Structure 1
Amino acid sequence: MTDAATNMRLKLPITCFILEIILIILFGALVQYDHETDAKEWHNTNHSSHSDYDNDFYYRYPSFQDVHVMIFIGFGFLMTFLQRYGFSSVGFNFLIAAFALQWATLMQGFFHGMHGGKIHIGVESMINADFCTGSVLISFGALLGKTSPVQLLIMAMFEVTLFAVNEFIVLSVLEAKDAGGSMTIHTFGAYFGLVVTRVLYRPNLDKSKHRNSSVYHSDLFAMIGTLYLWMFWPSFNSAITAHGDDQHRTAMNTYYSLAACTLSSYGMSALTAHDGKLDMVHIQNAALAGGVAVGTAGEMMLTPFGSMIVGFLAGIISVLGFKYLSPILEDKLKIQDTCGVHNLHGMPGILGAIVGAIVAALATVDIYGDGLADVFPNVANGNVEASYQGVRQIISLAVTLGIALLGGLIVGFILKLPIFGAPPDTICFEDSIYWEVPGEEAAHDDQLTTVRTEEVEKLNC
């Protein structure tokens, strides 16, 4: 296919250059190192009495590395199951994440980190920006194969902004706890993406159905993403919790939740198949649902026993969603969820929020001891009852859903504008629209160009 045919020869470069130039200008005007990153401030205020190893970098950077791997390798390769969309799955994941983490630094800094008119950033800012990026990539999963890179960049710009607003309301105004982001990351990203894909509904998508499927090697690539996500999820959930027992507990709760979830996912996958064979889609996705579902309550005294129950239930819910609910959502509600984000992130995210509310409502000094002040400071100092903290958690879930649904609706209509160059229904899930492809794939592209000439020409209008 020619560059002109894709309608991206100018639109994508212009979008990338304009967005990055704006980011550079804003960073130059608004962003500076925090006191642990700035050479002058750190040495003037700390060096005389503290070791350099007291710098937050040494606590946080290993977790940041793990989260970063999840964002770029885990999410990227998890989406490579489509037989002819592997370049786009990994490549657009890379593009969106690189933009979103910069924009998230600004948006989150505006709400959380401004001092003296400047946004102060350090290693924790990098982790938080990656968290926000993860939410955008969850939404990307619902839209996979049906959108142009320009549409995805524009979606990321709006979604990051709304994410920062929702995060501020939930964590700062309502003072809810959500260490692993069951609400702020997973629930928000899933339902935002589902509404966007509903607005962008494609009535003739069945014409591309033969490409909306996997082959043997594409499912193997997707399992790479699954295993990276599975291994590093304890770091993801515990990355910004307090040092010490809180962080230790979060990692451990996630560890056991994922393990229990994996067994229930395998069991339900075989149980729901008429011939008892495992479905790779279930294993790639549902086995991760335990990490999502334990996110909110991860730092709480959920206990390993409770974590395993949560993971066990999450795996069952996720597999049932893939098997029975996804076809209903597509047939009845016209929601074309390519990656099944509702089953991996949406429903387990809601489960996690509910579990977090229940555990928060049961928090007492007898259970937490002096550690109650770390997890629930308002309960420890008597400002609120534990039961009211549980109510706050539920209100936060409702707020998250409201902002995600309304925001997705508005952004969906913006993305429908023809200027963003969405591919026609007949050539969705096809790498060669946007990428140079080698070898045998190129021969297939020549045939595709001939067959789809009329549809491709519409992109030039």
Structure 2
Amino acid sequence: MSRLRLSFKTGNIPSMFQDVHVMIFIGFGFLMTFLKRYGFSSVGINLLLAAFGLQWGLLMQGIWGMDGGKIKINIFKIINADFSTATVLISFGAVLGKTSPVQLLIMTLMEITIFSLNEHLVAEILHANDVGASMIIHAFGAYFGLAVARVLYRPGLRNGHDNDGSVYHSDLFAMIGTVFLWMFWPSFNSAIAEPGMDQFTAVINTYLSLAACVLSAYALSSLVEHKGKLDMVHIQNATLAGGVAVGTCADMSIGPFGAMLIGTVAGIISTLGFKYLSPVLASNLGIQDTCGVHNLHGMPGVLGGLAGIVAVALGKKKGGKAAMQAAALASSLGFALVGGAVTGLIMKLPFWGQPPDQNCYDDSLYWEVNKKKLSTAACHHTSQME
């Protein structure tokens, strides 16, 4: 056995945990710093929700595996706690800039509780395969967040907001999040896979899917944008869709072509979603998706679920059942939409301190901000652009 395969057989779980941890706190946090006046909140509230969520996740997931009336904690449990937190951070992206910290803590409490129920159903009752969590994390988190966003719809923001946009340096900070997520996604998709060839396969499939996704995202962004230029929104987000979409199939024997095909399709649908679908959701359905989580996590997550159904039907996973894969996808979407709507109604209660329309996407509502320096930096940026 080669040294490489031996390392995957023995496992290097603590380092994979750290990779996942970096994705949660740096990757997700900085990916959301694209808003020009909401960087403190993007990173700071991300830290708050993640720290609260991983503790609540340990409790909620631990309830399903108690031993002698006690909750066991080990490296796999804390990885799963980070995973449960990821669902909240995905949903956070859908309502970014329009909710108070208290509302978001309520959402964290509700979402992780519902997530743990769905996860138990998918893994322990349906016995579906979703090692990289395309369905139970990405699709669930996205559609939960979209349901919350729909319930919290703000007519006053229908025509946009002055602060709902980026500047040069805020997009640059967001790219830090993109690069960290892109580098560590193979660990995310393989962290809870069976040590050995399954884990090795998950790393390789994710690696190839991400690489193919980048090429399709860049190509399509250039194709749909004015004069063949690239759109930073597409590059920050659609380049990651391959990691989302290949998650369900990550440890299956889909081969390099299968992984790259999934990544290519994910990059295409994500880019097209940002370009054409997000405006339709906002104007026609009243879903104001700040970060475009539907395009990065929602549609690619569903694509991953569908790919898993096909792969299992083709015998790419020993012992798998296509019907159970389909049931897992339906369960994840159902729990997300219903749970998100109920959570949105609770968050809409007037005593949670929801910010008024004029104060949305503005750090100064919750943070001490040196407005003089902020104003000077904005003027300097404007003069540079001119």
User: Hey, what does 2:201 align to over in structure 1?
Assistant: 249
Q: How does 1:323-334 map to 2 (within 5 A)?
A: 323-334=275-286
Which of 396, 420, 441 in structure 1 is aligned with 2:328? 396
Secondary structure of 1:82's counterpart equals: coil
Matched-pair contact (CA < 8 Å) for 1:265–1:287: yes
Q: How does 1:188-227 map to 2 (within 5 A)?
A: 188-206=140-158, 209-227=161-179
One-letter amino acid of the structure 1 residue matched with residue 156 of structure 2: N
One-letter amino acid of the structure 1 residue matched with residue 372 of structure 2: E
Distance change in 2, residues 1:344/1:442 (3 Å) = closer
Matched-pair contact (CA < 8 Å) for 1:208–1:427: no
Shift, 1:274, TM fit: 2.8
Distance in 2, matches of 1:207 and 1:173, equals 46
User: Hey, what does 2:119 align to over in structure 1?
Assistant: 167
Distance in 1, matches of 2:160 and 2:353, equals 17
Distance in 2, matches of 1:253 and 1:442, equals 44
User: Hey, what does 2:247 align to over in structure 1?
Assistant: 295
Distance in 2, matches of 1:245 and 1:262, equals 26
Shift, 1:106, TM fit: 0.4
Distance in 2, matches of 1:349 and 1:395, equals 15
Distance change in 2, residues 1:193/1:116 (3 Å) = same
Percentage of pairs with the same residue: 62
Distance change in 2, residues 1:61/1:415 (3 Å) = same
Q: How does 1:312-331 map to 2 (within 5 A)?
A: 312-331=264-283
One-letter amino acid of the structure 2 residue matched with residue 346 of structure 1: G
Which of 81, 85, 107 in structure 2 is aligned with 1:155? 107
Q: Following superposition, which runs of at least 4 residues in structure 1 exceed 2 angstroms of deviation?
A: 56-59, 438-444
TM-score with structure 2 setting the length: 0.93
Matched-pair contact (CA < 8 Å) for 2:131–2:190: yes
Q: How does 1:120-131 map to 2 (within 5 A)?
A: 120-131=72-83
1:2-61 residue CA offsets vs partner (Å, 9 max, x unmatched): xxxxxxxxxxxxxxxxxxxxxxxxxxxxxxxxxxxxxxxxxxxxxxxxxxxx9x997310
Matched-pair contact (CA < 8 Å) for 1:205–1:426: no
Shift, 1:440, TM fit: 2.4
Which of 326, 347, 368 in structure 2 is aligned with 1:415? 347
1:47-101 residue CA offsets vs partner (Å, 9 max, x unmatched): xxxxxxx9x9973101000000000000000000000000000000000000000
Larger Rg belongs to: 1
User: Hey, what does 1:87 align to over in structure 2?
Assistant: 40
State whether structure 2 residue 287 is matched by structure 1 residue 355: no
One-letter amino acid of the structure 1 residue matched with residue 234 of structure 2: H
Matched-pair contact (CA < 8 Å) for 1:72–1:97: yes
Distance in 1, matches of 2:298 and 2:190, equals 20
Which of 49, 52, 61 in structure 2 is aligned with 1:96? 49
Matched-pair contact (CA < 8 Å) for 1:148–1:422: yes
Q: How does 1:24-35 map to 2 (within 5 A)?
A: none
One-letter amino acid of the structure 1 residue matched with residue 294 of structure 2: H
Structure 1 gap ranges (5+): 1-53, 365-374, 380-385, 445-461
Matched-pair contact (CA < 8 Å) for 2:158–2:283: no
State whether structure 2 residue 362 is matched by structure 1 residue 440: no
Which of 20, 26, 39 in structure 2 is aligned with 1:67? 20
State whether structure 2 residue 238 is matched by structure 1 residue 238: no
Distance in 1, matches of 2:370 and 2:357, equals 24
Matched-pair contact (CA < 8 Å) for 1:75–1:225: yes
One-letter amino acid of the structure 1 residue matched with residue 44 of structure 2: G
Distance in 2, matches of 1:442 and 1:332, equals 35
Shift, 1:395, TM fit: 1.0
Secondary structure of 2:163's counterpart equals: coil
Distance in 2, matches of 1:164 and 1:400, equals 11
Secondary structure of 1:237's counterpart equals: helix
Distance in 1, matches of 2:140 and 2:12, equals 28
User: Hey, what does 1:134 align to over in structure 2?
Assistant: 86
Distance change in 2, residues 1:201/1:236 (3 Å) = same
User: Hey, what does 2:59 align to over in structure 1?
Assistant: 106
State whether structure 2 residue 67 is matched by structure 1 residue 115: yes
Distance change in 2, residues 1:435/1:208 (3 Å) = farther
How many residues matched? 369
Secondary structure of 1:209's counterpart equals: coil
User: Hey, what does 2:296 align to over in structure 1?
Assistant: 344
Shift, 1:438, TM fit: 2.4
Shift, 1:210, TM fit: 1.2
Stretch deviating more after TM superposition (90-99 or 206-215): 206-215
Secondary structure of 2:230's counterpart equals: coil
1:140-181 residue CA offsets vs partner (Å, 9 max, x unmatched): 000000000000001000000000000000111100000000
One-letter amino acid of the structure 2 residue matched with residue 187 of structure 1: A
TM-score with structure 1 setting the length: 0.78
Shift, 1:282, TM fit: 0.1
1:276-318 residue CA offsets vs partner (Å, 9 max, x unmatched): 1100000000000000000000000011111000000000000
Secondary structure of 1:97's counterpart equals: helix
Calculate the aligned-residue CA RMSD, in Å. Answer: 1.6
Distance in 1, matches of 2:373 and 2:352, equals 26
Structure 2 gap ranges (5+): 1-6, 377-386
Shift, 1:418, TM fit: 1.1
Secondary structure of 2:339's counterpart equals: helix
One-letter amino acid of the structure 1 residue matched with residue 62 of structure 2: G
Distance in 2, matches of 1:169 and 1:57, equals 29
Distance in 2, matches of 1:150 and 1:208, equals 24
Secondary structure of 2:37's counterpart equals: coil
User: Hey, what does 1:269 align to over in structure 2?
Assistant: 221
Shift, 1:442, TM fit: 6.2
Shift, 1:207, TM fit: 7.1
One-letter amino acid of the structure 1 residue matched with residue 55 of structure 2: Q
